[in-house]
Amino acid sequence: MSEKPKIGVYTCYCGGNISHTVKCEQVAKVMADQPDVVISRTNMSLCSDAGQSQIEEDIRELGVNRVVIGACAPSLHEPTFRNTVVRAGLNPYLYHHVGLREQDSWVHSCDCDGATCKAVRLMSAGVAKARFLDPLEPIRLEAEKQALVIGGGVAGLRSALDIANQGLRVVLVEKSPFLGGRMAQLAKVFPTGEEAQRLLSELIDEVVQHPRIGVFIQTEVVGVSGYVGKYGIDLLQHGRGVTAENGEALAAGCTQFVPDEFNYNLTERKVIYKPYQGCYPALPAVDWDHYDGESILLNGKKEVLQDQAQPYQLTVGAIVVATGFDPYTPHTGEYGYGELPQVATLAELIRHLAVHPEAKSLRWNGRIVRDVVMVHCVGSREIEGVDALQEDGLVNNYCSRVCCTATLHMIEELHTHFPGLNIFDLYQDIRTYGRGHEEYYRSALSSGTRFVRYNGEDRPEVIAALEGDTHPVLVHVKDALTYNQELEIPADLVVLATGMQPRQIDDLVRMLKVSRGNDRFLLEVHPKLRPVETAVNGVILAGTAQGPMNIQESILAASAAAAKVVSLLGSGQVELQPFVAAVNAAKCDGTGACVEACEYEGAIALETLVENGKEVKRAVVTAANCSGCGACVSVCPNRAIDVQGWTLAQYEAMVDAIAMDIVDLVEAE
């Protein structure tokens, strides 16, 4: 401590709120006699302009360099008085606030003497702490005004655009060879009936033309280091395998076919491919995972393609994770899926219709479809002990939230395109919660869809019909709408409204050290306080990587994520409160108990330093990663570490002041 403490003590009447119970003048008098106190005053209301000016004046005129205020709860006016002392040129952390209203006068109104004694002790404790106060500066970290967005679906695209539109630079990384994610696989989308691919291409145009966005396609994040403000990122960009000149020709010459996952393997495509007309980039790409390495004929010459992967390194201040979802794939045999050809998922049906836009009648596997059964909640809302466990031993006990509306939307589409279809809808609850969603429910009701309500404990069964039956499959279900009557519905097609699950991103989760919830989706810090941020500073979530969402919700989450990134990096500096651990190197002997106790990655480590020509180990705190919890403080055998602003010595001094008899306090002149 450089300067000798000159403490100013102020006891507020709070317009009588405190003074009606606590004898403020007596408190002030005892305080005036404490060592290091240069002035002790009372005031009717300190927070008033006059009260604040008095404090400023004392700092300027009397050289007060520590301020202790006894007033209302610190949560109300601590910021006010911090500003007051700053205005007078004092460091804001050289001020200490004692709550004398909520924690004294208001709770001991029948015990004036007790309340006064308590005030004296609490104020002495404040003075004792003030002696140990050090000026502190917020921790300022240089922040790279550039963000990384992982995932080029609608959420990642929107996030990138919003961040860039607010002045920061963005690197957007997409693993697959094309932008757009799952939304590109949709046709018309609820609730507006717009074409998904058209909406997407407008968004993609804005993104790729933006001067502050760099797009890396066919690129993976392979390394992450550093912390908020300065994350080091290693990227690996796979080769496209073709050039603008030879791309189309190579694709034309390619003869290797593989199942097309864009159409959920309903069709095949070449191994040099474009998923759909109008995709971005428009240049075909080589599917390296499936390319057999055989040569391809180009202008009479045989070409063997090679993945010339290229590493990149960049520094970013924050990371947005927008890696999206996979539709749930039913197990073989789940509702007959994979065994009975007339059982499909909703996502497959959407692709099927998109691939056959001109079809006059609905056909599945060659068969004309007249009776359709839609089954809700497949792979969602599973019940432990009732439904089969997923691979990881859990059940998907969450609601996937889009499938109800998507199913009813599909029913409307089917009725529009193929009038005369008979549609049964097997559901538990219809969850058309959003604006414009309930309309699809009403439309399905009015178009004659037969709704059957099943119970989650008693899911429908899909079985093959006997040979020669009118229909290929039979669906057995108990209908709670008609007193649990057992129904057998013959069907030409069973459509499973499969839910959402997060993509396989184990590597990324490990590199970013983010957590997942029980539903395996990425976990936010707190759904209300910080709904799009993870517990890792500077790692933000966007879209369905966090949980099931529709397009609108993915966009909103993405824009919210952008707001967080811009707040964090916009000023070029990240500012953190100074209440972090600090090591007293003179006392540290490198035992490392602190490192073991710390639960925050990269917050504290032993480093080898040279001291007097000798190599020694000393604990070193990385303020950016420290939460200030103090787990290290309690385990240090040498008391060599403290949380700044909340040191053990301060607490001991406060305890001593409280423990001291008032007689001693009064006499401690």
Partner 1 sequence: MTDLMQKPETKILILATLAGGYAGADATGQSHLDYPSNTYILPVMCPVMFPPEFFIRSFERGIDGILLMYSGTDSPYKVEAAGTAKLINQSYELMKERGIDIRRLRLAAICTVCVKPFLKEVNNMHTLLKGIGPVSAEIKPQQAEAQRTLP
Partner 2 sequence: MTKIHVDALVVGGGIAGMQTALDLGDQGYQVALVEKEPSVGGKMITLSKVFPTLDCCSCITTPKMSAVAHHPKIQLFTYCEVDRVDGQDGEFTVSVVQKPRYVNADICTGCRLCEYECPITVPSMFDRGLGSYHAVRVPFSTAVPQIAVLDIEYCLLCGKCEKVCPVGAVDFTQTPETFEIDTTSIVLATGFEMTDVSAKKEYGAGRLSNVIDPLMMERFLAPTGPYGRVLRPGDGMEPTTIAYVQCAGSRDETLGIEYCSRTCCMYAIKQSMLISGALPLAEVTIFYMDIRTFGKGYEQFYQNAKAMGVEFVRGKVASIQEDENHYPIVRVELTEEGRVVERTFDLVVLSLGMVLGDPLARFGLQPAEDGFASLPSVNASPWATTRPGVFVAGTAGGPMDIVDSIVTASAAASAASAYIRSKTQVSIEEGEVAYV
Ligand X SMILES: Cc1cc2nc3c(=O)[nH]c(=O)nc-3n(C[C@H](O)[C@H](O)[C@H](O)COP(=O)(O)OP(=O)(O)OC[C@H]3O[C@@H](n4cnc5c(N)ncnc54)[C@H](O)[C@@H]3O)c2cc1C
SS3 category, 45: coil
- Lookup: tokens for 538: 């500077």
Strand order in the sheet with 450-453: 343-345, 493-498, 371-378, 422-427, 450-453
Distances (CA, A) of 433 to 328, 406, 452, 455, 615: 22, 12, 19, 20, 65
Q: Which option in ligand SF4, partner 2, partner 1, none does residue 454 bind, with CB closer than 5 to 8 A by kind?
A: none
Q: Residue 48 binds what, of partner 2, ligand SF4, ligand X, none (CB under 5 to 8 Å, by partner type)?
A: partner 2
The dihedral over CA atoms of 474, 479, 482, 487, expressed in degrees to the nearest 10, equals: 20
- Site membership for partner 1, residue 109 (CB under 8 A): yes
| Selected binder of partner 1 within 50, 62, 107, 586 (CB under 8 A) | 107
CB 512 within 8 A of CB 541: no
> Which of the listed partners (partner 2, partner 1, ligand X, none) does 614 bind, with a CB threshold of 5 to 8 Å by partner kind?
none
| Run of H or E residues at 412 | helix 403-417
Pairwise CA distance, residues 257 & 435, whole Å: 43
- Tell me the two tokens of residue 147: 């963000």
> What is the Cα–Cα distance from 455 to 361, expressed in whole angstroms?
33
- Contact flag: residue 557 with partner 2 (CB under 8 A): yes
- Angstrom distances, CA of residue 155 to CA of 275, 323, 548: 20, 9, 12
Q: Which of 44, 136, 445, 511 binds partner 2 (CB under 8 A)?
A: 44
Instruction: Supply φ then ψ for residue 511, to 5 degrees.
Output: -65, -40
Closest alpha carbon to 668 in 133, 120, 69, 132: 120
How many Cβ atoms from other residues are within 10 Å of residue 386's Cβ? 11
Residue 150: name its binding partner from partner 2, ligand X, ligand SF4, none (Cβ under 5 to 8 Å by kind).
ligand X
Smaller CB separation from partner 2, 253 or 548: 548
* Shortest Å, Cβ 388 to partner 2: 18
Min separation Cβ 414 and ligand SF4, Å: 17
For residue 65, CA distances in Å to 9, 30, 90 come to 11, 20, 7
Inter-residue contact 321 to 542 (CB < 8 Å): yes
Binder to partner 1 among 20, 38, 56, 74 (CB under 8 A)?
A: 74
Cis geometry, peptide bond prior to residue 191 (ω within 30 degrees of 0): yes
- Taking the least distance from each CB to partner 2, the nearer of 46 and 641 is 46
Binds 579, which of ligand X, ligand SF4, partner 1, none (CB < 5 to 8 A, cut-off by type)? Answer: partner 1
- Rounded to a whole number of angstroms, the minimum distance from the CB of residue 450 to ligand SF4 is 17
* Options 20, 26, 422, 605; binder of partner 1; rule CB under 8 A: 26
**Number of residues engaging partner 1 in binding (CB under 8 A):** 64
Least spacing, CB of residue 541 vs ligand SF4, in Å:
21
Long-range contacts of 624-629 (CB under 8 A, 24+ apart): 624/139, 624/141, 624/227, 624/228, 624/229, 624/537, 624/574, 624/576, 625/227, 625/537, 625/600, 625/601, 626/580, 626/581, 626/600, 627/580, 627/600, 627/603, 628/577, 628/579, 628/580, 628/581, 629/599, 629/600
User: Can you give the binding site for ligand X, defined by CB under 6 A?
Assistant: 150-156, 173-176, 181-183, 186, 189-190, 220-221, 322-325, 327, 346-347, 350, 402, 406, 409, 503, 505, 508, 543-544, 549-552, 554
* Residue 146 interacts with, from ligand SF4, ligand X, partner 2, none (CB under 5-8 Å by kind): partner 2
Distance, CA of 280 to CA of 294 (rounded, Å): 27
Per partner kind, with CB cut-offs from 5 to 8 A, the member of ligand SF4, partner 1, partner 2, none near residue 99 is partner 1
Round to whole Å and give the CA distance between 495 and 532. Answer: 33
* 169 is an interface residue for partner 2 by CB under 8 A: yes
Q: How far apart are CA 430 and CA 145, in angstroms?
A: 45
Q: Which residue in the set 66, 77, 121, 182 belongs to the binding site for partner 1 (CB under 8 A)?
A: 121
**CA nearest neighbour of 490 among 478, 472, 506, 505:** 472
69 contributes a contact to partner 1 by CB under 8 A: no
Q: Which span sits near partner 1 by CB under 8 A: 40-48, 193-201, 413-421, 645-653?
A: 645-653
Name the DSSP class of 265: T
In whole angstroms, the minimum distance from the beta carbon of 389 to partner 1 comes to 27
Query: Rounded to an integer, what distance in angstroms lies between the CA atom of residue 433 and that of residue 441?
Result: 10
Cα 437 to Cα 405: distance, rounded to the nearest angstrom: 6
> CB-based contacts of 406: which residues, under 8 Å, 6+ apart?
190, 346, 497
Contact string 371-390 vs ligand SF4 (x = CB under 6 A)? -----xx--xx---------
Q: Using the rule CB under 8 A, is 659 a contact of partner 1? A: yes
For ligand SF4, which stretch binds (CB under 6 A), given 145-153, 265-273, 426-434, 640-648? 426-434
- Coil, strand or helix at 353: helix
Cβ 190 to ligand SF4 shortest distance, Å: 12
**CA–CA dist 317, 156 (Å, integer):** 17
Residue 448 vs 456, nearer CB to ligand SF4: 456
409 to 448: interface string for partner 2, x by CB under 8 A? --------------------xxxxxxxxxxx--x------
16 binds partner 1 (CB under 8 A): no
522 vs 653, beta carbon nearer partner 1: 653
Least distance from partner 2 to the Cβ atom of residue 601, Å = 25
CB of 114 to partner 1, least distance (A): 3
In eight-state DSSP terms, residue 161 is: H
Among 399, 493, 539, 643, binds ligand SF4 (CB under 6 A): 399
Query: Shortest distance, CB of residue 102 to partner 1, whole angstroms?
Result: 3
Select the residue interacting with partner 1 from 57, 111, 142, 458 (CB under 8 A).
111
In this structure, are residues 34 and 124 in contact, taking their beta carbons and an 8 Å threshold? yes
Span of 209-217, 256-264, 288-296, 595-603 interacting with partner 2 by CB under 8 A:
209-217
Cβ 582 to partner 2 shortest distance, Å: 26
Q: Does 167 bind partner 2 (CB under 8 A)?
A: yes
Q: Does 359 bind partner 1 (CB under 8 A)?
A: no
- In 3D space, the residue among 41, 31, 46 whose CA is nearest the CA of residue 122 turns out to be 31
Q: Measuring CA to CA, how many Å separate 200 from each of 157, 197, 413, 503?
A: 9, 5, 21, 21
Residue 155: contacted member of ligand X, partner 1, partner 2, none (CB under 5 to 8 Å, by partner type): ligand X
Chosen from ligand SF4, partner 1, ligand X, none, partner binding at 229 (C-beta under 5 to 8 Å by type): none
Count of other CB atoms within 10 angstroms of residue 202: 10
Nearer to partner 1, 30 or 296 (CB): 30
Query: At closest approach, how far in Å is the CB of 291 from ligand X?
Result: 19
Interface with partner 1 (CB under 8 A): 26, 29-30, 34-36, 73-75, 99, 101-104, 106-111, 113-118, 120-122, 125, 128, 131, 535, 579, 597, 599-600, 627-631, 633-635, 643, 646, 648, 651-664, 666, 668
Interface with ligand SF4 (CB under 6 A): 376-377, 380-381, 399-401, 403-404, 428-429, 431, 433, 497, 499
